[in-house]
C-alpha cells in the first residue's frame, strides 16, 4: 500500500543522499524489507541555499535542519537522516534523535593540491575552509597560513581546490569514505593534535516522539556505544551553548563501561585555547559531558566567549 512507504528525509548533497541510502539499507536488512518500502525525499535547506557567507554569520547550525524538521512535523517525511555534527543541541518540540548508526572514522584529513602535508605548505599559503574549528586548529599549528572561506558541499570544495583557489583544504574522512573517495586525502590528521567536531563521523536519525510505527523500526539499527559517546559530546556542546560561532572540538571514546572525553575551545585565530580531559562511567555520559562543558566555560571566562561575537 502506497501510504505505508516510509519516507526518509535528507538534504540533497551527494554525502547526505549517501547517508540516507545507508540508513535505508540498514532498515531493509534489519526488517527484511524491500527497497521500495522506503522513499528517499530530498529537501533543500537554507544552509544549502546560502553560499556567499560563512554559516556562522548566517545563523548557525539549525540552517541545515529547519526545513527537514518542518517536513517531519507536517508528516511529509517519517524520519530524517543527519550528520550528528550538523545537529543543534536543542530540537523542536515533538522531535527527538531516535538512533545513531555506528560511528565512522572521526578524523579530519588534509587534502593538499601539490603538497601532501599541512606542515610542509609554504609560508603564507592559502587554505580553504569554512569551519571555524578547522580555521582555529590550522592557525594554532600554522599561524602564517592565510585561511579563506571555502563553502559548498564536498564536491564543490574539491573543485575549488582543483581550480587553485587554495593550496589545500580539510574535510572529514568519514564523508570521504561514504562518498567512496578516501584516497584523495593526502594527510590524516591525528585527533590529539587536530580534534574533530563533536559528533563527527556519526549519522543520526531524527523522528517524531511517540511514533509507534517508526520508533521501533529505527530502534533496531541504533548503535548503543555511539549513542553514549554522542550523549556526552552533545551535553558538552549544550553546556557551551553549541553555537557555530565558537570553535569547539572534542571526542568521547568508550572502552568497556568507561568513557574518556577530551574537549577544547579556541579563539578563531587559534591563539588562545582551553581544554578539558575527563573520564568516568558510560552510565554518566551526559553528566560527564555537561560538567566538562561547565568546567571549560569557567576556565575560559565570559570574556572569551564574548570577545569576538
Ligand X SMILES: NCc1[nH]cc(CCC(=O)O)c1CC(=O)O
Number of residues that bind ligand X (CB under 6 A): 10
Toward ligand X, which CB reaches closer, 82 or 297? 82
Residue 234 binds to ligand X (criterion: CB under 6 A): no
Please give the residues from 64 up to 123 whose contact with ligand X meets the rule CB under 6 A.
Answer: 83, 85-86
Toward ligand X, which CB reaches closer, 72 or 185? 185
Residues 6 or more apart whose CB falls under 8 angstroms from that of 297 comprise 239, 240, 305
Q: CA nearest 141: which of 169, 115, 120, 168? A: 120
User: Cβ of residue 199: shortest distance to ligand X, in angstroms?
Assistant: 7
Give the cell for residue 17.
543522499
Binding mask 165-204 vs ligand X (x if CB under 6 A, - otherwise)?
A: ------xx-xx------------------------xx---
What's the 3-state SS for the chain? CHHHCEEEEECCCHHHHHHHHHHHHHHHHHHCCCHHHEEEEECCCHHHHCCCCCHHHHCCHHHHCHHHHHHHHCCCCCEEEEEHHHCCCCCCCCEEEEEECCCCCCCEEEEECCCCCHHHCCCCCEEECCCHHHHHHHHHHCCCCEEECCCCCHHHHHHHHHCCCCCEEEEEHHHHHHHCCHHHCCEECCCCCCCCCCCCCCEEEEEECCCCCHHHHHHCCCCHHHHHHHHHHHHHHHHCCCCCCCCEEEEEEEECCEEEEEEEEECCCCCCEEEEEEEEEHHHHHHHHHHHHHHHHHHHHHHHHHCCC
Residues known to be catalytic: 86
User: Cβ of residue 91: shortest distance to ligand X, in angstroms?
Assistant: 17
User: Cβ of residue 202: shortest distance to ligand X, in angstroms?
Assistant: 6
- Other Cβ atoms less than 10 A from the Cβ of 107: the count is 19
User: Cβ of residue 105: shortest distance to ligand X, in angstroms?
Assistant: 9
Toward ligand X, which CB reaches closer, 86 or 187? 86
User: Cβ of residue 175: shortest distance to ligand X, in angstroms?
Assistant: 3
* Residue 309 contacts residue 251 (beta carbons within 8 Å): no
Please give the residues from 16 up to 45 whose contact with ligand X meets the rule CB under 6 A.
Answer: none
Binding mask 129-158 vs ligand X (x if CB under 6 A, - otherwise)?
A: -------------------------x----
User: Cβ of residue 5: shortest distance to ligand X, in angstroms?
Assistant: 26
Per CB under 6 A, residues contacting ligand X are 83, 85-86, 154, 171-172, 174-175, 200-201
Amino acid at each position: 500500500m502506497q501510504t505505508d512507504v516510509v519516507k526518509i528525509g535528507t538534504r540533497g548533497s551527494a554525502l547526505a543522499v549517501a547517508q540516507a541510502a545507508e540508513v535505508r539499507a540498514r532498515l531493509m536488512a534489519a526488517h527484511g524489507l524491500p527497497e521500495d518500502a522506503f522513499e528517499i525525499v530530498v529537501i533543500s535547506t537554507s544552509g544549502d541555499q546560502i553560499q556567499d557567507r560563512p554559516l556562522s554569520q548566517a545563523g548557525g547550525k539549525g540552517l541545515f535542519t529547519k526545513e527537514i524538521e518542518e517536513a517531519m512535523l507536517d508528516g511529509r517525511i517519517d524520519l530524517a537522516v543527519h550528520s550528528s555534527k550538523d545537529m543543534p543541541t536543542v530540537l523542536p518540540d515533538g522531535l527527538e534523535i531516535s538512533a545513531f548508526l555506528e560511528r565512522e572514522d572521526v578524523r579530519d584529513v588534509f587534502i593538499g593540491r601539490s603538497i601532501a602535508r599541512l606542515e610542509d605548505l609554504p609560508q603564507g599559503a592559502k587554505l580553504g575552509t569554512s569551519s571555524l574549528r578547522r580555521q582555529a586548529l590550522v592557525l594554532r599549528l600554522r599561524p602564517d597560513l592565510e585561511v579563506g572561506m571555502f563553502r559548498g558541499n564536498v564536491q564543490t570544495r574539491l573543485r575549488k581546490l582543483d581550480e587553485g583557489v587554495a593550496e589545500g583544504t580539510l574535510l572529514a574522512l568519514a564523508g570521504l569514505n561514504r562518498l567512496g573517495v578516501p584516497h584523495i586525502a593526502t594527510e590524516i590528521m591525528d585527533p590529539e593534535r587536530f580534534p574533530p567536531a563533536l559528533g563527527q563521523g556519526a549519522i543520526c536519525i531524527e523522528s517524531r516522539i511517540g511514533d509507534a510505527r517508526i520508533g521501533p523500526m529505527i530502534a533496531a539499527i541504533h548503535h548503543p556505544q555511539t549513542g553514549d559517546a554522542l550523549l556526552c559530546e552533545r551535553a558538552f556542546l549544550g553546556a557551551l551553548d553549541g553555537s557555530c560561532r565558537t570553535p569547539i572540538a572534542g571526542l568521547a571514546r568508550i572502552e568497556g563501561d568507561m568513557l574518556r572525553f577530551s574537549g577544547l575551545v579556541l579563539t578563531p585565530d587559534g591563539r588562545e585555547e582551553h581544554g578539558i580531559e575527563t573520564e568516568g562511567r558510560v552510565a554518566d555520559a551526559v553528566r560527564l559531558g555537561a560538567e566538562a562543558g561547565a568546567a571549560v566555560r569557567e576556565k575560559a571566562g565570559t570574556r572569551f566567549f564574548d570577545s569576538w561575537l
